Each structure stands twice: as structure tokens, then as C-alpha cells.
Amino acid sequence: MRRELLGPSFYEISKRYTEEDIDELVKSMLQGSSKKWGKFSMPPQKLTKEEAYTIAKWIIVLKNKSH
Ligand code: HEM
């Protein structure tokens, strides 16, 4: 069941994207994101490019985990 929080869970994000989309996720984290998931926007996160890239790769791997 989808619980409505401010933003999507990392698991939900993993289901929508693939390895090909890592640059897009990095951009969302560093520059912020809006209108892709719902009515709330994510502000830019204080991460280095390397940190955002590592997190994006980790998020994508979650698609293989059972929930
Ligand atoms: C280091 C912390 C965070 C990480 C790694 C992270 C990561 C992400 C990622 C990867 C997405 C998907 C973006 C896309 O589809 O392109 C997302 C969406 C979102 N996040 Fe975060 N997030 C973080 C912190 C936050 C915080 C603090 C907030 C709220 C203040 C937030 C609110 C949201 C919202 C509302 C969305 C949906 C945006 C949209 O509809 O486009 N996030 N987040």
C-alpha cells in the first residue's frame, strides 16, 4: 500500500527508473525536483555530485529487493 508522505520512497523511485536514468536522479537531488510525483517539490539537497551519484546507484538496486 502507498502511504502518502511528502515524497516517494526510495523503493518506489527504484521501480520507476533504471541505470540509464542515474544522471536524471542526480540532477533531481542536486537541483531539486517538482511535478514528477505529486504536489510537493523536493528542494535541492546538500550533497556532492559523488554522493548523489552513489545514492542514485543504491536506489536503483532496491528494485531487486522484495518488499
Ligand atoms: C539526501 C536526502 C534526499 C535524497 C537522496 C532524495 C532523493 C530523491 C529522489 C532520487 C527523488 C526522485 C526524483 C525524480 O523522480 O527525478 C526524490 C523525490 C522527491 N523528494 Fe527527495 N530526497 C532527499 C530529501 C528530500 C527532502 C528533505 C524532501 C522534503 C523536504 C524531499 C522531498 C521529495 C519530494 C516531494 C519528491 C517528489 C518530487 C517531484 O514530484 O518531482 N526529499 N527524492
Q: pLDDT tens digits, residue range 28-56?
A: 999 999 999 999 999 999 999 999 999 99
13: exposed, middle or buried (Cβ count in 10 Å: 0-12, 13-18, 19+): buried
Contact criterion met (CB below 8 Å) for 18 and 60: yes
| Ligand 1 center to 2 CA (angstroms) | 16
C-alpha cell of 50? Answer: 559523488
The pLDDT mean for the chain works out to 93
Question: In a mutational test of the pocket of ligand 1, which residue from 42, 49, 63 has the highest number of ligand atoms less than 8 Å from its CB?
Answer: 42
Q: What is the rounded average pLDDT of the residues 1-7?
A: 71
pLDDT above 70 (res 15)? yes
Q: Which residues contact 43 (CB under 8 A, 6 or more apart)?
A: 32
pTM for this entry: 0.93
**Among the atoms of ligand 1, which is closest to the Cα of residue 41?**
35
